[in-house]
Amino acid sequence: MEETSEGFRKFKLNKQLYQVCEELGYENPTPIQEKAIPLVLAGHDLFGIAQTGTGKTAAYLLPLLYKVKYAQGNDPRVLILVPTRELAIQVGKEVDILGKYTGLRHAVAYGGIGPKTQIEQIENGIDILVGTPGRVMDIYSRGKLKTKSIKYMVLDEADRIMDMGFMPQIRQMLEIIPRKRQNLLFSATMPDIVVKLSEEFLEYPQRVEITPQATTAEMVDQFLYYLPNFRTKLNFLEYLLNEEDNELSRVIVFVKKKDHANGIFSYLERKIKGEVKVIHANKGQNARINSIQAFKDGGVRVLVATDVAARGIDVSMVSHVINFDVPVMYDDYVHRVGRTGRANNTGVAFTFCNDAEKYHLKKVEKRINKEIPVLELPLDLEYGEAPKDERQEMAMEIDRQKKIEDPNYKGAFHEKKKNKDKVDKNRRLKNKSSMEKQRASGKISAYLGSGKKKK
């Protein structure tokens, strides 16, 4: 364990933190820890760009645990805000593990359950509060959270915090905590909205960028399959999971819609070997936590998940990620693929794409600076028929994409109407011409007839 001590000893932390690092087998700091820990210890505001799975949580927790040192007073001195319940629970566990010899107290505040127990923990005295913006502001508005002692504030996964519309709560939070504090912001990607937030939130920050903006992990092999519709995607998913000697041992299947997640779960539960679970926003909090834990423990082979529900999943041995659809929030692709290939393990990501998703696929490839290689489908794959509503939905989506690319494009309906009008016009002209011929013929007959009478 001597190597472990030397690896982190250069940061000049304390023996309690060295001991826990040794017990966890932390031999050497990860790149984000190497760069961020000294800056946080030095008191700088920090803008860290790093994906999940890079050790970023420990990159801010270790120096903050060192700076807070020991339990003191009743009010929190560290506030860590995260976008989802699952991530709040995950970070809370990290605080518990890394701070186990420090005596520091913490609470985790998130929605989905009543606030009573969380409020009791806060009122009993804490040093660190981890929470989602909505629940933290809710507890504050009840008069149960005092913020005057907060000296350190962290926004973790800031891009997702922005995506989920928490900016109003963040601004409210900045109004009620002391101005004199150290701020840390971490984000997997750097869209304009996160840059804007950093300008409001950070003062003269040091910037640390480990993974280039919106690129996917190098340890992940990414592949693409073109599949025409939902039913064919479902058939192929079953095919992959039931293939003999396949290596899909621990799989996350990502979908955009909750009803699709439920449908895929029900289908796979009947069709494949191994336990299947599903998580999304409509699932109860305990059910979601239990499903994630079972997946971590290896009791669940396939976890079907929506993007928001899966953000707190931190499992080092996910063999495959399957994107059942192409995400329309392009950074979600990065987050999805980042669930595999973690902690120096290799991983594989498959993406299923239909014609209506090709537009978004191009945007994803542009965002990750990589063209995803296409694989051929098996010859014996059963192709399904798309129902009428799915065909209409896909046609409307393709129309919408074409209008974005070409403002003059009027849409398939307009083109059909235009063609119909053209046919109708031609028919009218033809009828008019025919009638005129008939009239002319009638006039000639009448003229000839009158001539005969005269004769």
Please tell me the least confidently modeled range out of 24-33, 74-83, 104-113, 277-286. 277-286
**What confidence score (pLDDT) does residue 437 get?**
60
**What confidence score (pLDDT) does residue 39 get?**
96
Q: When comparing pLDDT for 411 and 208, which is higher?
A: 208
**What confidence score (pLDDT) does residue 214 get?**
47
Own/partner pairs for 120-123, CB < 8 Å, 24+ apart?
122/76, 123/74
Contact 324, 264 (CB under 8 A): yes
In 3D space, the residue among 299, 302, 259, 267 whose CA is nearest the CA of residue 283 turns out to be 259
- The yes-or-no verdict on residue 455 having pLDDT over 50 is no
In 3D space, the residue among 117, 128, 133 whose CA is nearest the CA of residue 76 turns out to be 128
Q: What is the pLDDT of residues 141-162, one digit of tens each?
A: 999 999 999 999 999 999 888 8
- The yes-or-no verdict on residue 355 having pLDDT over 90 is yes
**Percentage with pLDDT > 90 across the chain:** 56
Q: For the residues 6-27, what does the mean pLDDT come to? A: 88
- All structural domains of the chain, each given as residue ranges with its CATH number in brackets, are 2-209 (3.40.50.300), 220-386 (3.40.50.300), 389-431 (no CATH)
What phi and psi values does residue 429 have, to the nearest 5 degrees? -60, -40
DSSP state letter for 249 = S
**Percentage with pLDDT > 70 across the chain:** 85
- The yes-or-no verdict on residue 403 having pLDDT over 90 is no
**What confidence score (pLDDT) does residue 454 get?**
43
**What confidence score (pLDDT) does residue 215 get?**
57
For residue 188, CA distances in Å to 57, 364, 442 come to 12, 15, 83
Please tell me the least confidently modeled range out of 14-18, 35-39, 342-346, 422-426. 422-426
**What confidence score (pLDDT) does residue 407 get?**
77
Mean pLDDT, the chain, whole residue set: 86
**What confidence score (pLDDT) does residue 343 get?**
64
Q: What is the pLDDT of residues 280-327, one digit of tens each?
A: 878 877 888 889 889 988 999 999 998 876 666 777 789 999 999 999
In this structure, the number of other CB atoms found within 10 A of the CB of residue 191 comes to 19
Nearest-angstrom CA–CA distance, 159 and 318: 23
Q: How confident is the model at residue 452 (pLDDT cuts 50, 70, 90)?
A: very low
Q: For the residues 354-360, what does the mean pLDDT come to? A: 95
Highest mean pLDDT among 24-28, 260-264, 399-403: 260-264
Q: In what order do the strands lie in the sheet with 347-353?
A: 220-226, 347-353, 320-323, 251-255, 302-306, 276-279
Contact 202, 47 (CB under 8 A): yes
Q: What is the pLDDT of residues 222-252, one digit of tens each?
A: 999 999 999 999 999 999 999 887 889 999 9
